[in-house]
Amino acid sequence: MTLASDQDVPATAPTAPPSPFQDVPASATGVLTIDLDAIIANWRKLESRGVPAECSAVVKANAYGCGTEPVARALAAAGCKTFFVATLDEARAARAAAPAATIYVLGGCLQNSGDLFAELDCKPVIGDLNELAEWDVFCRRTGWAGGAALHVDTGMNRLGLTLEEAQGIVPRIRAGNHGITLLISHLACAEDPHNPLNARQLATFREIAVQFAGVPASLANSSGIFLSPQFQFDLTRPGAALYGVNPTPEAGNPMLSVVDLKVRILQTRNVERGETVGYGATWTARRATRLAIIAAGYADGYFRAAGGADGVRSAEVIVAGRRCPIAGRISMDLIAIDITDLPDKAVRRGQMATLIGDGITVDELAHHFGTIGYEVLTSLGRRFWRVYKGGAV
φ, ψ dihedrals at 143, nearest 5°: 80, 10
Radius of gyration of the chain (CA): 25
d(CA 316, CA 358): 12
Mapped onto helix, strand or coil, the DSSP state of residue 295 is coil
Please list the active-site residues.
Answer: 60, 279
DSSP 8-state code for residue 305: G
Distances (CA, A) of 215 to 154, 208, 233, 261: 17, 11, 11, 43
> How many Cα atoms sit within 13 Å of 187 on the Cβ side?
31
CB 92, CB 110: distance < 8 Å: no
CB 345, CB 268: distance < 8 Å: no
d(CA 269, CA 328): 14
